[in-house]
Amino acid sequence: MDKEKELLERIAQLRSELDEIIERKGFREYAYCSDCKQAKPTDQFALTTKKTPRCYCRECWNARDVQYRQTESARLASREGERKRRGRKKHGEEQRVRGLLTRKIRMGLFPSADQRTCHECGEQAKEYHHHNGYSIDRWDDVIPVCYKCHRRLHGKDS
């Protein structure tokens, strides 16, 4: 009886060691598909952004994708995506320059507009205005302005 108990303890210990190794390596040999209810090798599953297998195998995932693409929701999403892509082409340089400025501010390499006064009226500034355009070589050629003055500079003052 003692031998059996020792054997069971050893099996439990080996299982926990195996689980630790699997967790450390970041993979499992098999994953379970929630759709077809089968255990399949993990290479038959697409990976999520967290590098873990999805809950559906590629085969089931593709079948679901085909079904979804035939719905009205998919068509609307596709149109919306196309509209956004056209906008990125049109305003791509501006977005890149704004993003660069935002990253520099977050990293502490450029002062926040809130810490400065408006270039036009002297009140506390809230935003930066790219007064010489959005070219990448002039990303930091900006002036701090308040909301009211920024709208006026863009001709949107009512």
Domain containing residue 101: 72-153
pLDDT of residue 51: 63
pLDDT of residue 49: 64
Give the Cα separation of 111 and 102 in Å (integer).
Answer: 10
Give the Cα separation of 80 and 21 in Å (integer).
Answer: 45
* Inside any domain, residue 32: no
* Inside any domain, residue 81: yes
pLDDT of residue 84: 73
- Tell me the pLDDT of the chain averaged across its residues: 81
* Inside any domain, residue 36: no
* Inside any domain, residue 148: yes
More confidently predicted of 151 and 32:
151
Number of domains in the chain: 1
Percent share of the chain, pLDDT over 70: 85
Q: pTM above 0.85?
A: no
Other C-beta atoms lying within 10 Å of the C-beta of residue 65: 11
Question: pLDDT (tens digit, 9 = 90+) per residue, 72-106?
Answer: 888 888 888 777 777 666 667 777 888 888 888 88
Q: Read off the pLDDT of each residue in 27-51 and give the average, rounded to a whole number.
A: 75
Angle 69-41-28 from CA coordinates, rounded to 5°: 110
pLDDT of residue 19: 74
Question: pLDDT (tens digit, 9 = 90+) per residue, 136-154?
Answer: 788 788 899 999 999 998 8
* Inside any domain, residue 138: yes
